[in-house]
Amino acid sequence: MLDAERPPLDLLIAAPRGFCAGVDRAIRIVELTIEKCGAPVYVRHEIVHNKYVVDDLKAKGAVFVESLDEVPDGVPVVFSAHGVPKAVPAKASERGLHFLDATCPLVSKVHRQAERLVKDGHHILFIGHGGHPEVVGTFGQVPDGAMTLVETAEDAASIMPPAGRPLAYLSQTTLSVDDTAEIIALLRQRFPAIAAPRSEDICYATSNRQAAVKTIAARCDAMLVIGAPNSSNSLRLVEVAQRHGVKALLVQRAADIDFAWLEGVRTLGITAGASAPEILVRELVDRLGARFTVREREVESATEDMLFKLPRALVA
C-alpha cells in the first residue's frame, strides 16, 4: 500500500509500560538456572503471565507444570513470580529437590506482613481476586481461617469477620488502584480500628502503568493493551482506560488486531502489562505501520529504576 493511500494514525505510547523489575528478575532466574544446571528446568506455574515469554523459555529448556508431583526427582524447579503457599517449598525440601524461588520481592513483602499480623493476633481482610496465584500463595502463608477474601466493594460493605479479634487489611499487588481505594475506604468506615499495611501493597509498577494510561486516555480515541487474558495487571489497564471514557482492547500479539475495531480511530493509545516484553510493542507498531501512516510519540509519566537482586546461588 502506498503511503498516500494509508490513513494517518497517531500513536501515543505510554511510559512506563511492559516489564517490571519483578518480572525481569523472574525470567532471568529461569534463564540462569538453565545456563547453570542445564535443561530441563521445571517451573511451577507460568513464571509470568505471558505466552510469548513462556514459549521463549520453553524453547530454551524450561518445562512448565502446575504441581510438584509433575517434577521428576533430580531436576531443578523454579517457583513463579506470583509466589507459592509455604507447603510448596516444604514439599520440595522433603523430596530433596533443588529449588529457586522467583517470587517478586514485593509479593514476598506482603507474605511477611501477613505472617506478622497473624502472629500478633490479627484477622486479615485480604483484598484480591479469588483463585489468582498470588492470592493462593498469600493465603498459603498463614493458617486456614486467618484471612478472609474481599473481592469487591459489595464484599467490603457486607463481610462479617470473626468477632473479638483485631483486624488488618492487605491486598494483592496487581489490583486497580481506584477500586482498591474504594474498598479500603469502606473497610475503614466499617472498622475504624483496622490496621493498614506498613506501606502500599499495590506495587509501584502496577500503579505507574495505570497512571500512565490515565495520562494519555483523554487524548486517545481508543487504546490497545498488550498482555495475556490471565494477567491481572493487564486486565486492570483495560479497565482504567474504559473508565476514563476510552474504548480499550486487550491483545496478546499484533496478529490479534481487528482493523475493523480501529475504524474511525485517529489517535491510538498503546501500553503493555508488566509481563509483556517490549518486542511485542514494536511488533504491534510495525503491523499498524503496514496499514496506516503512523506517527508515534512516547508519553512518559514516571521514571522507573527499580532493580531486584538475583539469588546468590545464581550469581556466585
Kindly list the catalytic residues.
Answer: 134
Residues 6 or more apart whose CB falls under 8 angstroms from that of 78 comprise 29, 30, 33, 41, 42, 43, 44, 47, 62, 99, 100, 101, 102
Helix, strand or coil, per DSSP, at residue 29: helix
- At 18, which amino acid appears? G
Q: How far is CA 296 from CA 211, 263, 267, 269, in A?
A: 20, 18, 10, 10
Please count the helices (runs of H) and the strands (runs of E) in the chain. 11, 12
Quick one: angle between helices 232-243 and 204-217, nearest 10? 30
Beta strands in the chain (DSSP E): 8-15, 41-44, 62-65, 77-79, 99-101, 123-127, 147-150, 167-171, 222-226, 247-251, 267-272, 293-300
Joined together, the cell numbers standing for residue 130 give 479469588
